[in-house]
Structure 1
Amino acid sequence: MRRAILSPVALTAALAAALTPAPAAAAPLVLKPSSDWALKSYDDKCRMIRTFGSGEDELVLWIDKGGPGPAVNLTLIGRAVRSPYGAFTRIGFAPGDLVERSFITAKSSKGRPVLGVFGVQPVSLLPDEALAADKQRQSGEEQVDFADGALTAVASEATIQQRYAAITALELNGAVIDPITLQIDDMLPMAQQLLACTAALTDRLARASQGGADGSTRIKTRDEATWAGKIQADYPFHLLRAGQQGRVAVRVTVNKEGEPTFCEVTAYDGPASFNDSACLLMLRHAKFSPATDAAGNPVAAFYSTRITYRINN
């Protein structure tokens, strides 16, 4: 019987390989603010802008909001987001949890790498679990309420403000070469500025969406059969493999050029994982003719629709 013989050189190499520690996880790139928050108002969105770091590490953050819901779009511009990999990244505002999100990439007008993430909720809107648990302990009786109101309860305004004030960082892990931590302060006043801008924007967009007897017109879809087919064909693979189906209602902000620039989920039936896919694909594929005012000028407005994910046998 033949036996494998390991030479002394091979044995030494094998032992060295076995004793070599696994490479440590990459240390995060931690960047401090190098500018104040700046608010910009557009026809179709409100944007807060801040720069972090300097030199080669400089990173610009855009926080965009184009509707009344709780989510924002995040855009990071700079060398730190070059050469992204994979289909998902994990992002979130500390001290909250990171969430998995699809992302898109581009180049800025200055040629810098861009990474965009849609539908990020900066803070949880759910009631304080600790407070609910404390009330439960006081009552001494365990209860379960399946009523719609219990499932859609929202935290108080004071609690939401406390959560914004507690934010210390934006963290990005996965899809980028090194994890990124942006140290953030003054998050509550920033959010209040952004929400005040968005409230005025939402009122204007809602009125423009209605059309009217004065000659103003609503948004019209263009080549809907083609782009709707692309959205439905891009079925999230893990949900397809699990045989999951669902419906997602979305509200899209469409600018005066007819381009979708912001998307919010307004209702859904099925796994929540469909939500991210639905909005991202609407922004990527949908085409529109913009709404017009009474004088026939194109204006930004809202467009609402429902996307159905169905597996055909």
Structure 2
Amino acid sequence: MRDTYALLVLTASLASAPAGAEVVDIAPSSAWNVDFADDKCRLARLFGEGENRHLVFFEQYWPSEGFGLTVAGPSFDRFRSRRRTELSFFDGQDPQRTEPFTGKVAGFGPGVIYSSAALAPADEVSDEQGDDRTTRLSQLDPGLASKVAYVGIKQRGDEIRLLTGPLDEAFEVLNQCTAGLVAEWGLDFERQRSASRMPEWANMAAVVRRIQKDYPRTALNRGEQGLMRMRVIVSPEGLVEECTIIKATDTEKLESPACDAMQDAKFTPALDAAGQPMRSYYVTRITYQI
């Protein structure tokens, strides 16, 4: 049901390791805030004070065991984009090795941006993880979230830990929010959750090739990169009824043309609990990277 496609224009870069390495723990300075927006759900919290103020937010654009994750603040000024990092959420957890983006977050400075993350290792999560796919709708696991102590990010020896504490109650609210998103798309959440199969993309390879070839020229000339989310409403006949692109990062000239290619997409339709074809949705992420 979910896949990720990266549109890449590759360049080479070299960076030396920092002279010193340290572990920094930063305590929260605000309560959790949840934004029930029209096209996404965001859970945000502040950490530290004054010039040491940091931000963390989790984002979801549809029900999932995974999420987008952004952390920002002065402690991340030495982190480098697409370099291997280790992500962990509690003591004793095997860190997840990832390659996030870096950028700037207004009001907070340097940021580390994960297009997709999860509390469990990738091989234990059925969606939002690389090429893994699921035929069932899933949501965040409050039981696993109750074990969380921090958001810990380590790169080249530097480790920053934002001391979140357990996330079970906060993730329950996110689950309520994403269920509401499904309803806003004109779909019955309970029927989607009980589906015996979600839509499967039948002619994926051909359409993806078209999407990958089309990096918007104006954005490419400006060196503009971005993360996008794409949502498709699939008819009981397996045809695309609606296609929506949502920007996960702010861009000026980068507008994805992927929905044009999706008009030729064909799906094996979703099946309800009784095995009957039904209207449903298909979602994915697109990364424009130079």
Partner residue of 1:53 out of 48, 53, 56: 48
Shift of 1:78: 1.2
- 3-state DSSP of counterpart to 2:31: coil
Which position in structure 2 is the counterpart of 1:274? none
Preserved CA contact (<8 Å) 2:214 2:257: no
Shift of 1:306: 11
**Higher fraction of helix:** 1
Preserved CA contact (<8 Å) 1:224 1:286: no
Once the two structures are superposed, residues 208-254 of structure 1 have per-residue CA deviations (whole angstroms, 9 ceiling, x without a partner) of 9xxxxxxxxxxxxxx986641268xxxxxxxxxxxxxxxxxxx8348
Partner residue of 1:114 out of 111, 124, 149: 111
Shift of 1:164: 1.6
Moved more, 162-171 or 58-67: 162-171
The aligned amino acid for 2:90 is A
Shift of 1:305: 6.8
- 3-state DSSP of counterpart to 2:29: coil
Shift of 1:118: 2.0
Partner residue of 1:165 out of 140, 146, 151: 146
Shift of 1:76: 1.0
The aligned amino acid for 2:76 is V
- 3-state DSSP of counterpart to 2:183: helix
Percent identical among aligned pairs is 22
Preserved CA contact (<8 Å) 1:35 1:51: yes
Within a 5 Å distance, the mapping from 1:238-277 to structure 2 comes to 252-253=230-231, 259-261=245-247
Change beyond 3 A, Cα 1:73–1:306: closer
Which position in structure 2 is the counterpart of 1:130? none
Which position in structure 2 is the counterpart of 1:63? 58
**Structure 1 CA distance for aligned equivalents of residues 168 and 284 of structure 2:** 32
Shift of 1:202: 2.4
| Structure index of larger Rg | 1
- 3-state DSSP of counterpart to 2:181: helix
The answer to whether the aligner puts 1:76 opposite 2:71 as a matched pair is yes
The aligned amino acid for 1:228 is Q
Partner residue of 1:28 out of 23, 31, 35: 23
Shift of 1:183: 1.1
**Structure 2 CA distance for aligned equivalents of residues 91 and 108 of structure 1:** 20
Preserved CA contact (<8 Å) 1:169 1:181: yes
Shift of 1:37: 0.4
The answer to whether the aligner puts 1:229 opposite 2:203 as a matched pair is no
**Structure 2 unaligned regions, length at least 5:** 1-17, 125-133, 189-206, 216-228, 233-241, 249-253, 263-279
Within a 5 Å distance, the mapping from 1:1-313 to structure 2 comes to 26-85=21-80, 87=82, 88-95=84-91, 96-110=93-107, 112-123=109-120, 160-174=141-155, 178-205=158-185, 207=187, 227-229=211-213, 252-253=230-231, 259-261=245-247, 286-288=256-258, 304=283
**Structure 1 unaligned regions, length at least 5:** 1-22, 128-151, 209-222, 232-250, 263-283, 292-300, 308-313
Shift of 1:162: 3.2
Change beyond 3 A, Cα 1:125–1:114: closer
**Higher fraction of strand:** 2
Higher relative contact order (CA 8 A, sep 6+): 2
Change beyond 3 A, Cα 1:93–1:225: same
Preserved CA contact (<8 Å) 1:252 1:302: no
The aligned amino acid for 2:38 is D
**Structure 2 CA distance for aligned equivalents of residues 206 and 125 of structure 1:** 31
The aligned amino acid for 2:53 is E
Preserved CA contact (<8 Å) 2:62 2:178: yes
TM-score, normalised on structure 1? Answer: 0.50
- 3-state DSSP of counterpart to 2:168: helix
Change beyond 3 A, Cα 1:25–1:85: same
Once the two structures are superposed, residues 81-114 of structure 1 have per-residue CA deviations (whole angstroms, 9 ceiling, x without a partner) of 2242262322121143221222222223337222
**Matched residue pairs, number?**
192
RMSD of aligned Cα (Å) = 4.3
Once the two structures are superposed, residues 140-171 of structure 1 have per-residue CA deviations (whole angstroms, 9 ceiling, x without a partner) of xxxxxxxxxxxx9x9xx9xx433221211111
**Structure 2 CA distance for aligned equivalents of residues 98 and 29 of structure 1:** 17
Change beyond 3 A, Cα 1:227–1:162: closer
TM-score, normalised on structure 2? Answer: 0.54
